[in-house]
Structure 1
């Protein structure tokens, strides 16, 4: 990692997993994170909304931060079952994921929906981790770059800054399947994202972190994190085990 690259971020997305007993996992991450490594990278855990407050308390004063997995675009109102960005911030969250492929697919979220959620995160002082990525059918049809370009254009708010925005590229076909793109494939997409960010945001676009997500494991983390324009990882299943999550972070040792 060269000094001109953005500070890496290793983030864990727990999805719909975890109960109060799972606090032992984040405590193990907190206690097992090498202090020297914590000085070079950012580490984030995004549990279900039910655990954000408890995890924030457990991690207070440590190098590990807590984020949400989704937000509603509105600050408050008649939206039964939803959580606002302001609510997450009130619990101690510093980040939130928006536009994850599972939200786009399962809840039919559009690029406009994702953009509104990113703006809500910014409004509440949270860092938005904005996800983009293609399905297997789109990749096999040779549409990967067009899909990612379109999602980025439609989902990224105007005036996005590196301080408040992270992009995560997650090829949908690689999430939870054990399949992983080659380093060359990842470099191609991350290069496209960097160029699109620079064209739209100028110098600020060069500073926005771009994470890779999709079957990241301790065994492949070092190769993936060394790819140009890969500034960290958005980790799914491996983040539920402290040893595996710390092993991925150790790619930056």
Structure 2
């Protein structure tokens, strides 16, 4: 009899626990999501239409980019251009106003055209930067983290001088696929250092033979500040031309079969 009472008590307890769990509503905990990390780059606008930047700030930003990308964070790069603040405020004001004068309409349309073009270029610049930094632990791992600040400076310098071509033209192309063909421009000093490294007495030595020299034979600072940025800009141009995301061309960041020759 006592055994039956004990069993009944146990069963009753189990049933009670089951009823309690039925009354308890499940708690849906929010799934943690990575927040977008915003990185600001300050550009100083010049009267000639180009931009300057602070290299000390760029070195700090380079470390942030590497840190966030390694943490698999989503990154948004915003550009602060102090000289444009008044013009942007003016444009937003004109955009909202009605019954504008002919002069105001022309100013509004001019500002719209300028900022639409600039914002498109800056968005493209962001994609280039993130695309290159995504190679930090793969094809560009041998250069080390500190070298990426030089690469970022080179990218911004390439953006700054996109319409200013000066120096000696050096053609750059992939040996296995001539579709990937672009050029870098060297100063006289950079050319001399390149010729010295290649044991050449004159620039004409770069003109002999289609694949005499590989791009990786260039001095390191030229690879970081000119070659890698130019390859990145070329891949972005090609991706837009062919209608594909730049990530589809990431294999071409490997510089092993890129060649150089006198342009």
What TM bracket, shorter-length normalisation?
under 0.3
- The structure that is helix-richer by fraction is 2
> Under a length normalisation based on structure 1, what TM-score does the superposition of the two structures give?
0.24
> Under a length normalisation based on structure 2, what TM-score does the superposition of the two structures give?
0.23
Query: Which protein has greater RCO, CA pairs closer than 8 Å, 6+ apart?
Result: 1
